[in-house]
């Protein structure tokens, strides 16, 4: 059977496993050109499903399923079979390119604690961090892809929706509103390029992905932040906000939302045009970029509210106190 999001993983359907990120991301290849991505994170299955309600409303092409215990067992069986074969083959172990993925999976399976494995379709994407690195090496192609994607009709608006969904879900691993007293982030540097950012936390998680028409657009891939204290919907928002303000409050306050949108665009302009003179009035994203981004945020609020109403009204609100509290705050936005 072909590897897919809908079919269960079976070890003898796997031809090869490729390591994309140690202890975190793996590519499974089948025998007919079929591929699927496996990602591991220190989250619970419930966190993924709770955030997925909002993700489905904003970016339905981003689909992620938690691996079932039988699927994890199939991956373990594949690793054990691989190691048994390599033991027989001896020296080939050192040179086989798949060995890195197998060793990383074996370490992952041996780790204590709460690690959830998920599967998702392989996507053609570009991330802003890599685009900046390529720009430092003289390759402007990826940066131009970002500019085209964001300036295209609906492009900045879609990024605004992605940002709003992250803020609702408490994911600050892409963008994070400035908080009083928080020291500035270290500069983003690559080669001879260096820019100081305000609210872009991890450019590597700011992604554009190729859609059905072949054009790139902003994506909500990697939408659960393991470090977030807002990922568990079974607590009240008041309890979750001990020591940290829910990022979604920036959406609700008109002045704060506009200031945040402005900071986002300023950061993006720096990354996309790192050699721009500080007195230059040139813009890569257009003079209306802040307005477009903020419009996307507000549209996302409508979509999120609608999705929550469908999912939890009228009898399920009490089972998800944090969701209920956030929804009530979103309803304050006019």
What would the mean pLDDT of 158-175 be, rounded to a whole number?
95
What would the mean pLDDT of 112-117 be, rounded to a whole number?
82
Joined together, the tokens standing for residue 161 give: 């929706």
Joined together, the tokens standing for residue 249 give: 């409050």
pLDDT computed for residue 93 by the predictor = 54
Whether 204 has a pLDDT exceeding 70, the answer reads: yes
Whether 112 has a pLDDT exceeding 80, the answer reads: no
Whether 184 has a pLDDT exceeding 80, the answer reads: no
Assign 4 a pLDDT band (cuts: 50, 70, 90): very high
Q: What is the pTM of this model?
A: 0.91
Assign 244 a pLDDT band (cuts: 50, 70, 90): confident
How far apart, in whole angstroms, are the C-alpha atoms of residue 90 and residue 81? 14
What would the mean pLDDT of 98-121 be, rounded to a whole number?
90
pLDDT computed for residue 94 by the predictor = 57
Integer-rounded Cα radius of gyration of the chain: 21
What would the mean pLDDT of 268-295 be, rounded to a whole number?
91
How far apart, in whole angstroms, are the C-alpha atoms of residue 142 and residue 130? 8
Give the dihedral of Cα atoms 236, 241, 24, 39; nearest 10 deg. 30
What would the mean pLDDT of 288-304 be, rounded to a whole number?
97
Contact 98, 82 (CB under 8 A): yes
Joined together, the tokens standing for residue 231 give: 């990922």
Sheet order of strands, 64-66 included? 16-21, 25-29, 35-41, 116-120, 64-66
What confidence tens digit (pLDDT) does each residue in 130-149 have? 999 999 999 999 999 999 99
Parallel/antiparallel/unpaired status of strands 116-120 and 35-41: antiparallel
Assign 181 a pLDDT band (cuts: 50, 70, 90): low
What would the mean pLDDT of 228-235 be, rounded to a whole number?
86
Which three-class secondary structure string do you get for the chain? CCCCCCCCCCHHHCCEEEEEECCCEEEEECCCCCEEEEEEECCCHHHHHHHHHHHHHHCCCCCEEECCHHHHHHHHHHHHHHHHHHHHHCCHHHHCCCHHHHHHHHHHHHCCCCCEEEEECCCCEEEHHHHHHHHHCCCCHHHHHHHHHHHCCCHHHHHHHHHHHHHHHCCCCCECCCCCCCCCCCCEEECCEEECCCCECCHHHCEEEECCCCCEEEECCCCCCCCCCCCCCCCCHHHHCCCCCCCCHHHHCHHHHHHHHHHHHHHHHHHHCCCCCCCCCCCCCCCCHHHHHHHHHHHHHHHHHHHHHHHHCCCCHHHCHHHHHHHHHHCCCC
* Domains of the chain and CATH, by start: 11-120 (no CATH), 125-330 (1.10.1070)
Residues contacting residue 321 through CB under 8 Å, at least 6 positions apart: 233, 234, 235, 236, 237
Parallel/antiparallel/unpaired status of strands 188-190 and 125-127: unpaired
């Amino acid at each position: 059977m072909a590897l897919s999001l809908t079919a269960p993983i079976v070890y003898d359907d796997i031809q090869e496993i490729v390591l994309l990120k140690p202890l975190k991301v793996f590519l499974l290849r089948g025998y007919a050109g079929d591929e699927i991505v496996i990602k591991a994170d220190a989250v619970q299955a419930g966190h993924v499903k709770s955030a997925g309600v909002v993700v489905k409303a904003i970016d339905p092409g981003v689909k992620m399923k938690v691996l079932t215990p039988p699927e994890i067992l199939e991956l373990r069986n594949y690793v054990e079979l691989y190691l048994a074969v390599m033991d027989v083959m001896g020296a080939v172990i050192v040179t086989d390119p798949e060995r890195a993925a197998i060793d990383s999976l074996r370490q992952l399976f041996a780790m204590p604690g709460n690690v959830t494995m998920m599967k998702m379709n392989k996507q053609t994407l570009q991330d802003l961090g890599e685009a900046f690195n390529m720009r430092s090496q003289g390759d402007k192609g990826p940066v131009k892809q970002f500019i085209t994607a964001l300036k295209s009709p609906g492009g900045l608006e879609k990024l605004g929706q992605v940002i709003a969904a992250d803020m609702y879900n408490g994911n600050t691993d892409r963008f994070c509103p400035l908080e009083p007293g928080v020291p500035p982030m270290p500069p983003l540097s690559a080669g001879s390029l260096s820019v100081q950012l305000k609210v872009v936390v991890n450019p590597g998680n700011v992604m554009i992905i190729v859609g059905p028409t072949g054009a790139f657009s902003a994506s909500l891939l990697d939408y659960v932040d393991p470090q977030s204290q807002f990922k568990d919907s079974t607590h009240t928002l008041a309890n979750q906000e001990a020591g940290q303000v829910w990022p979604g409050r920036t959406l609700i306050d008109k002045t704060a939302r506009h200031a945040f949108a402005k900071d986002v665009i300023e950061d993006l302009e720096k990354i996309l045009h790192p050699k721009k003179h500080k007195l230059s009035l040139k813009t890569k994203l257009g003079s209306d970029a802040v307005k477009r981004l903020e419009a996307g945020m507000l549209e996302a609020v409508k979509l999120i509210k609608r999705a929550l109403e469908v999912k939890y009204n009228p009898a399920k609100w009490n089972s998800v106190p944090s969701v209920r509290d956030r929804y009530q705050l979103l309803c304050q936005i006019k």
